[in-house]
């Protein structure tokens, strides 16, 4: 009987000590007199966004057609001239979206769409059908080439892998004339290039090139991906330079890079890969993608801009780009994300604030003047952003800043999962006021939303004691007023919060699940109290928080549950 993989792996948990035998460093590339360390970037590469394919396939909830269309229009607006729009043989939605782009003429004349296909005849034919009618199209073919893929996934030897790539390339070449209205560009990817022996990567790439027969006037794209990042960026640069040196018919090939971020150095690998001979970059906005993501095109482009290179991509309204990206992908950009995070142009340190303030005052404001401000390597205004010495809350503020004000000025440490919920309340208040909110207004709004919350549930009396029947459990007896009627309920639980929720459920006063709760000391002058936060899930799946303040921690916790139930009733009534 085969042991389940999960059980087999369970015995290996925990990091090895001393001599590490489970992993090994990626072997260095034999490259004499490497040239890339002395190269300097002077111009931007060809950019290709893969947000709608590579990025989309990595989303917990893939984009629908409307979201894909909004993202496509954003990419065009930013300035991408090559956009991978999907994997048409993967699903009907992918196929239909590409047809929608073509048939409703959403693709500008100067934009080339790209579609991906595996090296299988049925998938290739389906892919060609998907792009029929497109003016410019990149047919992107790939097959895996690394030893692991050859051995574990496909069970094929090198000659069989090469034959697979040759057959697929020949089929695409034969089908290309059936797209007479299209300018067809061929792209080949030896997937897992970074994990493939460089000589074999060269061999299979040249075999494909020999079939396609590109010329200096009609080039093909050779995409060399760091599909899984397992080596330092300098090794990747060596791999790229080695291929560029040895590739025959090099002048007829555009070298494309596609780095991932498993080691956290996807941007660095792409930058060094460009120094080594790369001419084209595939990636996504904010690095969305499998595992730790693709290379972040926003960071990569703005790194170039910061060094005086026009990236050819427009991020003058970066907050808007981020907002659309988050709406379409349902993924949040971290607050410390380069250039785009909520806090990257905010200084909390007094010394930093002072240096920045003096630098801003001394900055030459004439057009074309060199930017020289301590701690700010790029002018936030270039990206439509501003420098903030302290958190200031208005309709554009992030939930992290709102939580920061409550913690720093009032000692209220909201659970991280609660930030978004309360942030929406502040956003609504800021929108209606149209002005910046003071910290006092933020506290007042929090107290009104949680501490002073009123509704059908009210706690009249509470007793929590160690259970006499269940070891480690607590017993809860409570008197709760519901719509004016007092009910007595009781139950046991692992902690006061769980016991109180169980009592309400068993007494048919509620039907909810406790997701989390925490308590924190709260000191105002000489008065010491406890702040309790709970998160519940209602019978219809709605999750929401409650918070309360009291001198007794058990009562604070029970009041927080009551608050959450009242807020649930209030929201339900609003919906009705």
Q: 56-65, 475-484, 523-532: which range is least confident on average? A: 523-532
Residue 398: pLDDT above 70?
A: no
- pLDDT band at 255; cut points 50, 70, 90: very high
- pLDDT band at 453; cut points 50, 70, 90: confident
For residues 71-78, give the mean pLDDT.
98
For residues 382-410, give the mean pLDDT.
67
pLDDT at 118: 96
Give residue 4's Cα distance to chain centre: 32
Query: What whole-number distance in Å separates Cα of residue 110 and Cα of residue 549?
Result: 61
116 within 8 A of 84, measured Cβ to Cβ: yes
Residue of 309, 298, 242, 314 lying closest to 266 (CA atoms): 298
- Specify the higher pLDDT residue, 368 or 572: 368
Query: What whole-number distance in Å separates Cα of residue 116 and Cα of residue 520?
Result: 52
Residue at token pair 């209602």: 538
The token duo for 342 is: 């909520």
Residue 121: pLDDT above 70?
A: yes
* Positions of CATH 3.30.160.270 in the chain: 457-575
Q: In 149-296, which residue ranges form alpha helices assigned H by DSSP?
A: 158-175, 198-212, 233-246, 266-275
* Positions of CATH 3.20.20.70 in the chain: 39-329
Q: Are strands 220-226 and 457-466 parallel, antiparallel or unpaired?
A: unpaired
- pLDDT band at 575; cut points 50, 70, 90: very low
- Specify the higher pLDDT residue, 563 or 574: 563
State the DSSP H helix or E strand holding residue 187, giving kind and residue range, or none if neither. Answer: strand 183-191
Residue of 67, 35, 40 lying closest to 51 (CA atoms): 67
Q: Are strands 82-86 and 112-118 parallel, antiparallel or unpaired?
A: parallel
pLDDT at 551: 92
Match domain 39-329 to its CATH number in 3.40.50.970, 3.40.50.620, 3.20.20.70, 3.40.50.300: 3.20.20.70
* Whole-number average pLDDT of the chain: 90
421 within 8 A of 543, measured Cβ to Cβ: no
Q: What percent of the chain has pLDDT over 90?
A: 73
Query: What whole-number distance in Å separates Cα of residue 290 and Cα of residue 293?
Result: 5
- pLDDT band at 550; cut points 50, 70, 90: very high
For residues 465-473, give the mean pLDDT.
79
Tens digits of residue pLDDT in 218-228? 999 999 999 99
Residue 333 CB neighbours (<10 A): 25
291 within 8 A of 259, measured Cβ to Cβ: no
pLDDT at 391: 44
Return the CA Rg of the chain.
29
Residue 2: pLDDT above 60?
A: no
Calculate the alpha carbon distances from 397 to 69, 321, 417, 432 in Å: 27, 16, 17, 14
- pLDDT band at 419; cut points 50, 70, 90: confident
Burial of 115 (0-12, 13-18, 19+ CB in 10 A): buried
pLDDT at 400: 58
- Specify the higher pLDDT residue, 423 or 102: 102
Q: What percent of the chain has pLDDT over 70?
A: 93
Query: What whole-number distance in Å separates Cα of residue 361 and Cα of residue 373?
Result: 9
115 within 8 A of 52, measured Cβ to Cβ: no
Residue 261: pLDDT above 70?
A: yes
Residue 389: pLDDT above 70?
A: no
Residue of 211, 203, 267, 280 lying closest to 236 (CA atoms): 267
- DSSP 8-class letter at 516: E
**How many residues are given for the chain?**
576
Residue of 418, 493, 480 lying closest to 449 (CA atoms): 418
Query: What whole-number distance in Å separates Cα of residue 450 and Cα of residue 452?
Result: 6
What top-level class would CATH report for the domain 457-575?
alpha beta
């Amino acid at each position: 009987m085969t042991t389940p993989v999960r059980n087999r792996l369970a015995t290996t948990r925990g990091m090895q000590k001393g001599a590490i035998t489970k992993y090994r460093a990626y072997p260095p590339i034999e490259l004499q007199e490497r040239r890339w360390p002395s190269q300097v970037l002077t111009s931007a590469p060809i950019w290709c966004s893969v947000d709608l394919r590579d990025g989309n396939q990595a989303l917990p909830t893939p984009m629908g057609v409307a979201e894909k269309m909004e993202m496509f229009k954003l990419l065009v607006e930013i300035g991408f001239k090559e956009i991978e729009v999907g994997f048409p043989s993967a699903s009907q939605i992918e196929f239909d979206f590409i047809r929608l782009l073509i048939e409703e003429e959403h693709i500008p004349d100067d934009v080339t769409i790209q579609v991906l296909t595996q090296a299988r005849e049925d998938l290739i034919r389906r892919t060609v059908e998907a792009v029929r009618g497109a003016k410019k199209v990149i047919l992107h073919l790939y097959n895996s080439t690394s030893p692991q893929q050859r051995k574990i996934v496909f069970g094929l030897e090198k000659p069989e892998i090469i034959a697979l790539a040759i057959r697929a390339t020949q089929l695409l070449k034969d089908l290309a004339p059936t797209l007479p209205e299209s300018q067809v560009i061929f792209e080949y990817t030896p997937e897992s290039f970074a994990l493939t022996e460089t000589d074999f990567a060269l061999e299979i790439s040249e075999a494909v090139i020999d079939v396609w027969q590109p010329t200096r006037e009609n080039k093909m794209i050779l995409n060399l991906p760091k599909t899984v990042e397992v080596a330092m960026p300098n090794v990747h640069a060596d791999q790229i330079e080695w291929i560029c040196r040895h590739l025959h018919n090099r002048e007829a090939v555009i070298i494309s890079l596609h780095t991932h971020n498993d080691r956290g150095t996807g941007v660095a690998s792409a930058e060094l890969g460009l120094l080594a001979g790369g001419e084209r970059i595939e990636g996504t906005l904010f690095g969305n993608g499998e595992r730790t993501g693709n290379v972040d095109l926003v960071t990569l482009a703005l790194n170039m801009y910061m060094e005086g290179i026009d990236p050819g991509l427009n991020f003058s309204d970066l907050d808007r780009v981020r907002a659309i990206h988050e709406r379409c992908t349902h993924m949040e950009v971290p607050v410390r994300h380069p250039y785009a995070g909520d806090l990257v142009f905010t200084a909390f340190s007094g010394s930093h604030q002072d240096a920045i303030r003096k630098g801003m005052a001394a900055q030459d404001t004439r057009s074309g003047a060199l930017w020289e401000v301590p701690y700010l390597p790029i002018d936030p205004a270039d990206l439509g952003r501003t420098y903030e010495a302290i958190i200031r809350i208005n309709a554009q503020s992030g939930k992290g800043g709102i939580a920061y004000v409550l913690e720093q000025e009032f000692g209220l440490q909201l659970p991280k999962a609660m930030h978004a919920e309360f942030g929406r309340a502040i956003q609504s208040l800021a929108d209606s006021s149209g002005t910046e909110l003071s910290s006092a207004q933020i506290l007042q709004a929090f107290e009104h939303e949680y501490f002073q919350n009123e509704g059908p549930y009210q706690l009249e009396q509470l007793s929590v004691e160690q259970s006499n029947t269940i070891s480690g459990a607590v017993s809860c007896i409570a008197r709760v007023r519901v719509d004016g009627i007092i009910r007595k309920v009781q139950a046991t639980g692992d902690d006061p919060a769980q016991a109180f929720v169980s009592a309400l459920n068993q007494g048919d006063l509620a039907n909810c699940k406790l997701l989390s709760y925490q308590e924190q000391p709260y000191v105002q002058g000489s008065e010491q109290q406890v702040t309790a936060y709970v998160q519940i899930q209602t019978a219809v799946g709605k999750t929401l928080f409650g918070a309360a303040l009291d001198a007794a921690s058990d009562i604070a916790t029970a009041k927080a549950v009551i608050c959450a139930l009242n807020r649930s009733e209030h929201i339900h009534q609003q919906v009705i």
